Structure 1
Amino acid sequence: MTVTEAAGATPAAAPPLRRNREFLLLWSGASLSFLAARVTSVAYPLIVLWHTGSPLAMSVVATAALLPLLLVQLPAGAVVDRWDRRRLMLACETGRVLAVGSVALALATGRLAVAHLAAAAFTEASLAVFYRLAERGAVRNLVPAAQLPAALAQNEARGRGAGLVGQPVGVLLQSAGRALPFAFAAVAYVLSAASLLLIRKPFQEERSGTGTVAAQRRAARLASEVGEGLRWLWRQRFLRAAFGYVAATNVLFQMLALALVLRIKEAGLPSQTLAVVVGIGGVGGLCGALAGGRVQRRIRRQRTLLIAGAVAWAALIGAMGLTGDPVALGALYAGTGFVGAVFNVAAAVYQVRTTPDALQGRVAAAAGVVGSGTNALGSFAGGLLLAAWGALATVHAIAAAMAVLAVLAALAPDLKGEIADDGNPPHPHG
């Protein structure tokens, strides 16, 4: 799979991305939306763990926030390809304001309930799936084709930057007041919605029949439309195997994230210590996003990236089991984020460039289900292991499992071929 070659020279009349008003508005609004989601993503498990002391209760809420990656993505992809993307994104932001606002109100009045937190986390994450798929498809309609790799690299850096800032901010806001992370998120979602209203260009190509097909006919076609995205992805031999590998690594990283939270608590450290770990860790992800293009130019075979990444992850996670120093843990976590960001840039550019506009949502959703749908399993399994073994033993087990995945990636026959830019698998390299 080659994703680093430009689609062609940038037209002379095309302004650089930094002067593309429509893209900057979309990028800025989505930045606020991603930041809000990062703030609440760390606030949910922190509130539960610090106020109930139960790793299982923490994993229940974390799992509820991850279930949409498995349950919602496929139908969301079909909806995104059928409905007006701008209106759908506005509806998502409105729904997320209501969800996080309800949590802020409940916490401000002292009515903490795990079931309410789980329901709000599920709702917020479900709407985030719709928003993310619609936003990714919209980008190609707001920038010239030759600028698409740069635009999507900036999007990856935005997501990593949101993690770098949002997770520590979420920890600090939660320490200052339980309702503050959710009040902050509500304001950010309102501003994100406002930015969408200022964009003048359409978010998709002209679609015949959009908005005029009868409701019954739409419902009947939904399963067929979802199947189109799955079939397209299934025909890509290399991608099929690669996303299976990614799914397995995502299970382990969800377990690792919960293990780090519990490790801080078991050490008797204040919750603010977690801000140090995730803050340093976020730097690695941001650097990986910014360096992704250069790394891919040096390592052109994606199979090499997959295997080297798994080996690096195993070593980094193994080292996490040897230290309890927050700065050292953050530095090791940063290394894992660097590798993951390089992968994400490659996958995003390839998928958006090669997929027809009318299939953007469904193919991205299919890839998301295969690659990230197992996140909820990792969160739930992590809670069980943490309750039974504790944080340190769980980290050792994760490192061993990652090492096994590195060996399997090296031996997998489907990863010995690569995908051309036209989406068809060429002959495997010798």
Structure 2
Amino acid sequence: MTQEARIDVELTWNHAEEKSSAEKVAEFAKHLPQGPWFGAPTGVARADDREPTYTLPLRSARPYRREVAVGEAAVYLADGHDELERPFIFADGFNYGPSDLPGLFAHFNAPYPGSQVGFLDQLLTAGIDVVLVGFEQRHTYIQANAGVVISAIQEVIARRHGDVELIVGGVSMGGIITRYALAEMEEKKQDHQTGTYLSWDSPHNGAWIPLVLQQLAYFFEALPVPPGEVKKAELIRSPAAQQLLYAWVPDAKYSGPVATASELRTQFLAELEDLGQFPRRPRKLGVANGTGNGIGRDLPAGQEVFKVQVPLVHYVQANFQPDGGEYQPIGEMRAAGQVRRGFTSHVPGLDGVPGGILDTFGGIAEALGATISTEYERSCFVPSVSAVALDYDPVEWNVDPYEKVEGADEKSALDEFKCDSENTVHSQVTKPLVDWIVERIVR
């Protein structure tokens, strides 16, 4: 059995430094970028983007933990269609706050290298109607937003002309939400009439945000912030993050297990198990923004990534996640007299493994005024082994994250999957992925 992955924090207090630095720290906090850290990339709507044919308000028909989630669908009818005929329902992913459906459309329809035509326009031209599903709270429980997707599926079925089966899926966490929704409908004997399920860089076995950066988000949000601003760790502490992340910490002082730190993830995994993990009826497809050849990025496990000191304000050192080991240092932070040093044991070094990447270290280094090498700015967010739903324990992570997954369809819960030709930004639209998807759903 794999040894328990955990974090340990050494906390000390320098009262003399606390007194001398308090005012300078408060002044520094005024200039620190506000808002939650670690959001996934989003698109920016363009003036010449297609407008949706119409929009639909969505409301879950059942509560989850007393929460009734709501959202909206933007319906783009295919060229030559006056009503829904071949619907493709595609759900938004991991981020904070409400979905930006025009931005989601812009992201997935921007021309990309090797094509002058966006992905969604290719579908619309081929006669596939696009239904983008957004959520009022992207950061809430996956199960709550699955209720919104169920409502979208039922609304689309009611409006569809003919009986062509649906294509249902999503990007990032949207692929997990739709996976859960379809499995729940099957469990309740509700006919989802879906022939194909598609996930786009979805963390089927968990996502990764470096533990030292999670600590920093909590640490720096303790500094004074303007009234009404969303705190830096709000996305990290959200239900969605707790359910999605393989390793998670609840605050900057926490010592203990990281793979089971949140009961929300433990419960979510148990519920997926009860639902059979995946829906059984649809053909299950998936694409990964990471490579499938086992080649990651050269981010040396345990090595210092950046270090910055502003006298009497703060000192921060952040390392790449060490690969296993006992009581390995991951970083240090000091401000207003607080000194915290973090150590991990039996946590895999996932920063440089094959997978879809995010601007994690770079974004925080910039916020703190630290110098960082360009190649160190981004780290893995969704390992390829997770995006292709390889068969391994999502808590113990008893898998080689550098495993060559190309041609390993028999080890995946998906029927077919496609990895990118290089490790690209999480949710990035690339020619290899689009060509593979279009070949399978445009017939």
Using structure 1 for the length normalisation, give the TM-score: 0.26
Structure showing the higher helix proportion among its residues: 1
The structure whose Rg is larger is 2
Between Structure 1 and Structure 2, which shows a larger proportion of strand residues?
2
Length-normalised TM-score, structure 2: 0.25
